Amino acid sequence: MYLIVGLGNPEKQYEKTFHNIGFIAVGDAAEALGAKFKKKECEASVAEAHINGEKIILARPLTYMNNSGRAVKQLMSKYKIAPENLIVIYDDYDLPKGKVRIRASGSAGTHNGMRSVIGETGLTNFARIRVGIRDEEVNIPIINYVLSEIKKEDYELFAEACKKAGAAAAEFAKGETIDKVMGKFN
């Protein structure tokens, strides 16, 4: 069983912001796997897919970014998800806009949502897909930037990055090793 989590904020006002890149990308992963977000459980909006007899849970935590770890911990417990079968997708200010980077493990970096996931689960040995959002031309505090709306001229760039991130997560959930997914998508 696999768990794919996209980090973001649940309210409509955040829908097109940089901080909701994870929500967008997990939606793309759900589409690639033929799943629809139909239910709420464990403080998350959840979709289910079945591939080769394997159940795949896709989730968007409804706890807001800084408390994302609560939902991840609950889902991992409910579905008995092993750390090696968890992948988290999120925006990353430390990467240039549109860049997708996959890692098998790591720290939270500057990301509060990942800090919450690591803090709640006590784990760092799970895969993550980071979608870069940094724009060298913008000089405002990070908190203001991540909650700002993606510029129209950048929409296509981020749509493609989210599709790539979603496709990478789907391949991982279909049983591809994280090393092969990194080799193909990094």
Catalytic residue among 2, 8, 19, 27: 19
Strand runs labelled E in the chain: 2-6, 39-41, 44-51, 54-61, 86-96, 100-103, 127-134
19 catalytic? Reply is: yes
Identify whether the C-beta of residue 100 lies closer than 8 Å to the C-beta of residue 59. Answer: no
C-alpha to C-alpha distance for 95 and 87, rounded to whole angstroms: 18
Q: With left for phi above 0 and alpha for psi between -120 and 50, is residue 40 left, alpha or beta?
A: beta
**Which distant-in-sequence residues (6+ apart) come within 8 Å of 63 by Cβ?**
43, 44, 70, 71
C-alpha to C-alpha distance for 37 and 58, rounded to whole angstroms: 8
**Which distant-in-sequence residues (6+ apart) come within 8 Å of 137 by Cβ?**
none
Identify whether the C-beta of residue 65 lies closer than 8 Å to the C-beta of residue 9. Answer: yes
Catalytic residue numbers, as ranges = 19
